[in-house]
Chains A and B, each alone.
Chain A
Amino acid sequence: MILLVFIITPFVAALILAFIGDRRFAPEINIFSSILTFTAGIVLALEVYRHGPVIAGGKFFFVDAFSVYLSVLTAFVSSTTAVFSRRYMQREREHGRVGKVRMRFYHAMFQMFIFAMLLCLLTNNIGVLWIAMELATLSTVLLVSLYRTPNAIEAAWKYFILCGVGIAQALFGTVLLYFAAEKVIGEGGEALLWTNLIEVSGRLEPTILSLAFVFLVVGYGTKVGLVPLHNWLPDAHSEGPTPISAVLSGLLLNIALYALVRCKVLVDGSTHTHYAGNIMMGFGIVSILVASFSILRQKDIKRMFSYSSIEHMGIATFAFGLGGPIATYGALLHMLMHSLTKSSIFFTVGHACQMHRTQEIEKIKGLFKGDAFVGWSLMLGTMAIAGMPPFGIFTSEFLILTAVIKNAPLLTPFILIGLAAAFAGLLRKVQYMVSGDTPSYFNPIQAAHTPVLLHMVLVLVLAFYMPDFLNKWFQTTVELLK
């Protein structure tokens, strides 16, 4: 029941906001429904915490430790993003960048996007997972082109085409998976249910699953933004409105990685080799290296942080590929920390861009003097994302590195070089932006403090204190991915 409330709320909100999304109180409805979703998520999470995995709706929904932590995270970040977007979009409207119709569209699609992501996480059916993933792409495509500038349209077109192609490969992989499963489980919808697949994964034909995984990794990997399939990502994340950048970077990438990891578990169960893990490690390490060196050459602040997202997704993919309890635990923690940190960075970047009316790094100056809160949160956020202690990303990267040194020592230098390059690139550019005098075109705005503070505090607290429920969920998931 609570599961139904959880998933239906954003859908209903999307329908309502499609009609009244341009009213004065529409942002409040957006916030309210996001928080309602989040509350339902917490109730569901408590249930999973107490009684273990939940199967509902005639096996259509399945929530275990892995999906519950990601779905609560999704609901949480979308609530804070809704809070942030209230003033942000209001100002964009005052600046004449969006009109009435586009405001309606924006609000409706924001909720639709949340719905699609939650459906991805909560469904038990691998086929429906694919459909929801495609829906998540489709609902954000036109948000990327919301400003209708040539660059925004180009970015959205790239996003649409490349992700469309990518996700088509994943569907072929899913067909192959179904083909193998059908032989064991029998025909009909049952053969695509995760709960059934995991039980029989040992009996699935390894050659077919190996072939399927190639298609799945290309397909879902495109959405994770793994190099060399990442071309769409910096464009899509930098040209759209900032709240959308925050949820794309913070949430959608996680969901795609979640889909990939679910498929990996099945392939591992069938092949009993490290085949899938090796592929993921390869993609991961290339992503870390390419993305971190790309950070050094960026001129657009949002593009720079998009590359940082690719780097962090690379780290998580690599760690899942490496396997073993420590690396997997680290990867799960990394997904959580990256999500919280990156969305809070995008909030502050959004403020900084609106204050300077530009996204160019060279034109953003003097944030410490202009608005101390925004300046400091950008600086601290960047330190957090670059992996400095005492923030949470340090913890997760430390765990992952420990596992790398232990299990694949030869790869350690590559990862360290990647991390160092990203660290240098990010801090050098951000230092330049926060220091110095404020330029003449600087116009102060009322920043949204709550979302940023909330995220940063969480990132800081989780670095030192791991709540029992989170620890238990991570342990259960590690057990599942073993």
Chain B
Amino acid sequence: MNLQLLAQINSFLAALVLLTSFAMLSQRKINSLVTLFAWQGLFLSINTAVVGFVAAKHHLYISSLLTLSLKVILLPYILHVLVVRLKIRKEMETIVNIPTTMLIGIALVIFSYHLTAPVREMSTLITRSTLAVALATVMIGLLMMITRKHAVTQIIGFLAMENGLFFAATSATYGMPLVVELGVALDVLIAAFIFGIFFFQISTTFDSLSVEQMESLREDN
């Protein structure tokens, strides 16, 4: 396969990752959010493998497999089990209405392109243009955490940010050293267990997973 085509596949996958980010931003149902998160992980995993092939970096295949098993299979499965066990069906209220969040999201994408411009100029990698998308994914994940007042959506936003960071590492430098990638994956895994425990603690203490009830620790009380 020629390099041109692979570069295009890379850009296409980056577009899909960004698309899933926006889809997550507009989605109110938690079940669909989990599915979207799994899709994002899948695109990311394929992209990592493609980049690994282009750059002939074998450790990227390992990261690709790691992403596949962790972010496409394990984490969505854990989230799904939690959603079923905790009987979450209700649609989520958002603080800011969805069209507005989408507009903010677009602004964040433009901002990311602006911010990563010096990196793009310096880089010689074929993946350099996707770094902006990666930063945008991080920012949109952050936006999701801010605008949603539900514990599960906040966690999905958090994990989407993690996806963005992983993507950034792949596109800026063909992946971080393996020891770092493994360590980050381990941290995500531990975090997954912790938020699992948290969901149970929150739902038994507050009777629901809405974060809005957690308002007692403020300065003005």
Contacts and interface: CB of A to CB of B under 8 A. Distances in A.
Interface of A: 125, 127-128, 130-131, 134-135, 138, 141-142, 145, 148-151, 153-158, 160-161, 164-165, 168, 171-172, 174-176, 178-179, 182-183, 187-189, 191-192, 205, 207-208, 211, 235, 239, 294, 297
B186 interface: yes
Nearest to A169: B138
User: Could you tell me the dominant secondary structure of chain A's interface residues?
Assistant: helix
Contacts of B151: 157
B99 interface: no
User: Could you tell me the dominant secondary structure of chain B's interface residues?
Assistant: helix
15 contacts: A125-B180, A127-B176, A141-B194, A153-B202, A154-B217, A156-B198, A157-B211, A158-B217, A171-B184, A172-B168, A175-B165, A175-B168, A179-B123, A207-B118, A235-B217
A161 B198 CA distance: 11
A151 B217 contact: yes
Contacts of A183: 122
Contacts of B138: 168, 172
Nearest to B122: A205
Given A138-B187, A141-B194, A157-B214, A150 B206 contact: yes
Given A145-B198, A164-B191, A208-B122, 13 more contacts: A127-B177, A135-B190, A148-B201, A154-B216, A154-B217, A155-B217, A172-B135, A175-B176, A178-B172, A178-B173, A182-B173, A183-B122, A211-B115
Contacts of A178: 169, 172-173, 176
Contacts of B168: 172, 175
B173 to A, nearest CB: 5
B161 interface: yes
Category for how many chain B residues contact A? 35 or more
A168 B122 contact: no
Contacts of B216: 150-151, 154
A175 B194 contact: no
Contacts of A145: 198, 201
Nearest to B179: A189
Given A164-B191, A205-B122, A153 B205 contact: yes
Contact of B172 (A149, A179, A294, A297): A179
B113 interface: no
Contacts of A188: 177
B165 A172 contact: yes
B204 to A, nearest CB: 8
Contact of A135 (B135, B142, B187): B187
A106 B185 CA distance: 24
B219 interface: yes
B195 interface: yes
Interface in B67-103: none
Interface in B112-152: 115, 118-119, 122-123, 135, 138, 142, 145, 151
B75 to A, nearest CB: 14
A128 B174 CA distance: 18
B168 to A, nearest CB: 5
A192 B180 contact: yes
B47 interface: no
Given A175-B165, A175-B176, A208-B118, A160 B198 contact: yes
Contacts of A164: 158, 191
B162 to A, nearest CB: 7
A176 B119 contact: yes
A16 B201 CA distance: 26
A441 B162 CA distance: 49
B173 A175 contact: yes
B117 to A, nearest CB: 10
B178 interface: yes
A375 B183 CA distance: 46
Residue of A125, A168, A191 ringed by the most chain B CB atoms within 10 A: A168
